[in-house]
Amino acid sequence: MAAMDIANHLRRHKKSLTRARAEIWHILTQSEKPLSPDEIHRRLTGHKVDLATVYRNLRALKDIGLVREIDLREAFKRYEAILPGQHVHHIMCQVCGRIEKVRHCVVQNMANAIQKESGFTLKDHSLECFGICPSCQPHKTKAQGT
Amino acid sequence: MAAMDIANHLRRHKKSLTRARAEIWHILTQSEKPLSPDEIHRRLTGHKVDLATVYRNLRALKDIGLVREIDLREAFKRYEAILPGQHVHHIMCQVCGRIEKVRHCVVQNMANAIQKESGFTLKDHSLECFGICPSCQPHKTKAQGT
DNA sequence: GCTTAACTTGCAAACGATTTGCATTTTTGT
DNA sequence: ACAAAAATGCAAATCGTTTGCAAGTTAAGC
């Protein structure tokens, strides 16, 4: 989604391009990982924006397909900008919490199999991975606690 | 996990096999779809069990690997018994909410690719699908609202 | 079976993320 | 610039989930 298009996209859905909206969108497009509403709120630098407004805008952006909501088994949801031609999943380190993108998506390959098995028409899916990042790999020379 | 084993499994983790625990486990193993804490609570028929106890037990069972927590983009989490040799995902109908199992898991096939791409050691993943079930398929002969 | 320590429960209160009501301000289309 | 529509700040409300604590239940050894 080119920056210019967001205004049109919003207009098509009878939504205004407000200062808060633009700033939130900018923050999301700049971030390399999905952010929580609170993180986004803390990154807002311009005029004061209420946290409730952040929530309202995230929902609005999600509803019109500009933003994706992600559940990484935390107490809150994370949000990320949906960029054109980009199908991304995530992997989070169970030790340090680091979050990385996974561009490899097998779900598309198995879509037919899933549709055949379930009889459903597949519209969307969530795929989040959890593991241990390179920096947190246990050393083989030293015992690790559980 | 055979019904008999649950007691041992609990004991190994210094947990008691209480009446509430047994009943919750039974409800979960009988259900063909993951249940919310509230649904489980409402299905408890024996002596009175507090909702807080249901939550505490679901967490305990999850912590020792007997139960899996599932996020289907609802306001709450769902829980299901982890049965031996069963790797299951789910697909939920975006129209009627019906939930079915998907035994086809491609993630295992792509595990190597994901590990290679991210450098992470893959430990776990969430894969939930959303679509439209057979009964809710739009009819081609009649227009459908959005 | 009895006893005690450990674990669990009910109850009510607390929490934390998210939502909402409403009066006011900003944005939009003309 | 204007009126109508949409968005915002603020505070209060929601709602799923968690927690403190006193009382009840279960486990393990005798």
Fold of A87-134: Dna Ligase; domain 1 (3.30.1490)
| Secondary-structure breakdown of chain B: helix, strand, coil percentages, each rounded to the nearest 5 | 40, 20, 40
Q: Which residues of chain A have pLDDT under 50?
A: 144-146
Parts of chain A belonging to CATH 3.30.1490.190: 87-134
- pLDDT above 50 (res B145): no
Q: Which two tokens stand for residue A7?
A: 């205004």
Q: Which amino acid is at B131?
A: G
Partner-chain residue, chosen from A113, A121, A130, that has the shortest CB–CB distance to B125: A130
Backbone angles phi, psi at B78, to 5 degrees: -115, 160
Which chain A residues touch B128 with a CB distance below 8 Å?
A: 125-126
Domain B87-135 CATH superfamily: Ferric-uptake regulator, C-terminal dimerisarion domain (3.30.1490.190)
Q: What is the mean pLDDT of residues B78-102?
A: 90
Give the per-residue pLDDT at A141.
Answer: 62
Helix axes A51-63, A19-30, angle to 10 degrees: 70
Using the Cβ of A86 and the Cβ atoms of chain B, whether some distance falls under 8 Å is answered with no
Give the per-residue pLDDT at A145.
Answer: 45
Protein-strand C interface by C-beta, 7 A = A 7, 11, 16-19, 36-38, 51-52, 55-56, 59, 75-77; B 10, 14-16, 18-21, 47-50, 52-53, 56-57, 60
Q: Which amino acid is at A58?
A: L
Looking at CA atoms only, how far is residue B63 from chain A in angstroms?
Answer: 13
Q: Which amino acid is at B123?
A: K
Looking at CA atoms only, how far is residue A19 from chain B in angstroms?
Answer: 29
Parts of chain A belonging to CATH 1.10.10.10: 1-85
CA distance A122 to A102: 21
CA distance B84 to B103: 13
CB B144 within 8 A of CB B138: yes
pLDDT digits (tens, 9 = 90+) for B91-110: 999 888 999 888 877 677 77
Q: Which amino acid is at B61?
A: L
Which class is domain A1-85?
A: mainly alpha
Local structure of B9: helix, strand or coil: helix
Looking at domain B1-84, its CATH architecture is Orthogonal Bundle (1.10)
Q: What count of CB pairs under 8 Å joins A to B?
A: 121
Q: What is the mean pLDDT of residues B29-57?
A: 96
- pLDDT above 90 (res B27): yes
Give the per-residue pLDDT at A26.
Answer: 97
- pLDDT above 70 (res B125): yes
Looking at CA atoms only, how far is residue A46 from chain B in angstroms?
Answer: 32
- pLDDT above 80 (res B87): yes
Give the per-residue pLDDT at A146.
Answer: 42
Tell me the average pLDDT of chain A.
88
